[in-house]
Structure 1
Amino acid sequence: MQKLIFFCLFMIPLFTSAQHQQIKDFLVKENLSQNGKLAIIAVDSTEKVDNVIHGNFRFIINGFQQDLQFEDGVSVYNHSVESSTFVLLKHKNQDKEIARYYFVRKTDKGLTPYKISALALILIPAVILLIAYMFKRFLTTIVVLVIVYGYFHYSKGLNISQLLESLFIGFKNFF
């Protein structure tokens, strides 16, 4: 009977496997000691700290590969932030790659990380280009109007004060 129990105890580890730790998502906050260092916090899908995360995990921070030591789901990046900066953090699991882009603002009170979404990285340049295009068309319209006004001013005696007065009277009569 002892041999059977010993054999079963010996065989159990062969059919079981350890639970693999995996960072599914992470957040960036200031370290609790407020020493100018960033804390990377492993979170679950509800953005609560994933306390089962322990050990070394590889991150790429602004293009430099770093092995971060996690304890209870929290790791502190060793380098302190000297001034406001942008930080790109990437972590690759077996399943997927997670990347987060932050603007870290440094003030006298400490660090404040602001997450920048990928949608904002697309929309902001698109809006700037749209405004530039609209301004270009507006500028073209203004140049054409100035040329037309110049022609009528010199050849037909049009005065800008008379033109504006006529516009104001027209608006008053309209309302």
Structure 2
Amino acid sequence: MKKILLILCLVFVSANFAMADGPAMAINHFVVKENPFAKNEVAIVATDTLGNIQENVSGVFTFTMNGFEEALNFDKGTAFYRHKINKSTFLYAKHQNDSGSHGILYYIYKHDEKLSPFHISWILLLAIPCGLFLLAYMFKRFIIVAIIIFGIFMYFNYHNGLSIPTFFESIIDGLKNIF
């Protein structure tokens, strides 16, 4: 009876190894880069934690780009976001998979027919308003100047495509990733 049980366990374990085709493809880290093949477009590149391209990622993955759901076709770790970027703008890219939600905010700076993506940290988004509030609280005469600077900050964000919900969603995603 023990031999039969041992054989059944070995068959079960070997069947699991035979059906496994390696680690499941998942995108946990990604970066936004300028698309080298198309003008005024960006590419999403799946990376590991060190920034190396994950060339084993292929297939269709769902991303949310500035609130709109997009199915991006990855081939050797790279997918192309097929929307033209006509002016400098914010781009909030978010991907949901089994390990959670991964969102990154970029400022895409357009200059001389080139796009330069800059990663915007959630800490910076939180530090600017908090710093202005702290300065206004410490120096009562600075209140009006702080309100004007905060208004300019909000206008710049809104004018370049960063809405208030995206602003807070980026901060909350950053805070979630800490824990």
Q: Is the 8 A contact 2:87 2:109 kept in 1?
A: yes
Secondary structure of the residue aligned to 1:98 is strand
- Which structure would you say has the larger RCO, counting Cα contacts within 8 Å and 6 or more residues apart? 2
Q: Is 1:39 the equivalent of 2:24?
A: no
1:130 counterpart SS class:
helix
Q: Structure 2, unaligned stretches of length 5 or more?
A: 1-10, 144-179
Q: Aligned residue for 1:166? A: none
Distance in 1 separating the partners of 2:17 and 2:109: 51
Based on CA coordinates, which of the two structures has the bigger radius of gyration?
A: 1
* Cα distance in 1, alignment partners of residues 113 and 66 from structure 2: 24
Mapping 1:1-175, distance limit 5 Å: 15-19=18-22, 20-137=24-141
- RMSD of aligned alpha carbons: 2.2
TM-score in terms of structure 1 length: 0.68
- Deviation beyond 6 Å, 4+ runs, structure 1: none
Query: Cα deviation per residue 1:79-130 (whole Å; 9 max; x = unaligned)?
Result: 0101000110000110111000011111114000110111111111111112
Q: For 1:86, what is the secondary structure of its paired residue?
A: strand
Equivalents in 2 of 1:80, 1:124: separation in Å?
Answer: 30
Secondary structure of 1:79 counterpart: coil
> Identity of counterpart residues, as a percentage?
35
State the 1:134 CA deviation.
3.4
CA distance in 2, matches of 1:101, 1:55: 23
Query: Does the 8 A contact of 1:34 with 1:110 survive in 2?
Result: no
Query: Contact between 1:36 and 1:81, CA under 8 Å: does it hold in 2?
Result: yes
Query: What TM-score do you get using the length of structure 2 for normalisation?
Result: 0.67
- Contact 2:136–2:142 (Cα < 8 Å) also in 1: no
Deviation of 1:34 after TM superposition, in Å, equals 5.0
